[in-house]
Amino acid sequence: MTTLEESSATRHAAARRAMIDSQLRTSGVNQPWVLNAMASVAREQFVPDAMRDAAYIDRAITLADGRQLASPLVHGRMLAEAAPTQDDKALLVGDGKGYLAALLRPLVGSLDAVAPDAAAAKRGKGAYTLLMVDGAVEEMPGSFAKLLAEGGRVVTGVLEGGVTRLAVGTRTGGDIALLPIADLGIPVLPEFRAPKRWSF
């Protein structure tokens, strides 16, 4: 490793520690396993090169494909609410090679991922115990409930009245009931916008 690479690695490691201390802990994310997960994944590897030194800022970062990487607090809160275990068969609606996938994969028994633009068409019958959506949805496809086992958990962002919130839920009786629990700035997934309805 060159001196320049060592300097960059040192800066990023310090930024990662600062993220944990000044963003996560101060906002109530104190579960040791969440902090350990976020300390072990180099967030700078999941942003454009020009943004590497800003990888740990407390807001979303625009990625090369035009999508956004949510702030560290969003992903920390999502992990904490999901409480994944090695017994979970998890489905991530998002980038299977992205930051949230890297955080989640070691914490579950298995992880599948589906891109947002293909998620509504994904078929399955009660295969998953945990569904995480890496972004906010305005309208969740009804097909998502069929992917979950009865009692399966959901962690997602929701968009309501122009405000994004973290929400959790479970599949009960063939439906998903979501409960918004915290206002957070979560990037909205355009694939899950509600269709525009005419008004007179």
pLDDT per residue rounded down to tens, the chain (200 residues)? 567 567 888 999 999 999 999 999 999 999 999 999 999 999 999 999 999 999 999 999 999 889 999 999 999 999 999 999 999 999 999 999 999 999 999 999 999 999 999 988 888 778 899 999 999 999 988 889 999 999 999 999 999 999 999 999 999 988 998 999 999 999 999 999 887 765 54
112: left (phi over 0), alpha (psi -120 to 50) or beta: beta
Determine phi and psi for 62, rounding to 5 degrees.
Answer: -75, 130
Which of 135, 142, 89, 93 shows the shortest CA–CA distance to 114?
93
Residue pair 151/189 in contact by the 8 Å Cβ criterion: no
Q: Where are the domains of the chain?
A: 3-192
Q: Which of 134, 137, 136, 130 is nearest to 111 (CA)?
A: 130
pLDDT at 199: 54
| Dihedral over Cα of 42, 119, 139, 124: its sign | negative
For residue 93, the SS3 value is strand
54-68 burial by CB neighbour count: b if 16+ within 10 A, else e?
Answer: ebbeeebbebeeebb
Distance of CA 86 to the CA centre of its chain: 18
The whole-number pLDDT of residue 124 equals 77
Residue 79 confidence (pLDDT) = 98
- Which one is the CATH code of 3-192: 3.20.20.220, 1.20.1260.10, 1.20.1440.130, 3.40.50.150? 3.40.50.150
Total residue count of the chain as it appears in this document: 200
The pLDDT, as a whole number, for residue 4 is 59
What pTM value is reported for the model?
Answer: 0.92
135 in Cβ contact with 119 (< 8 Å): no
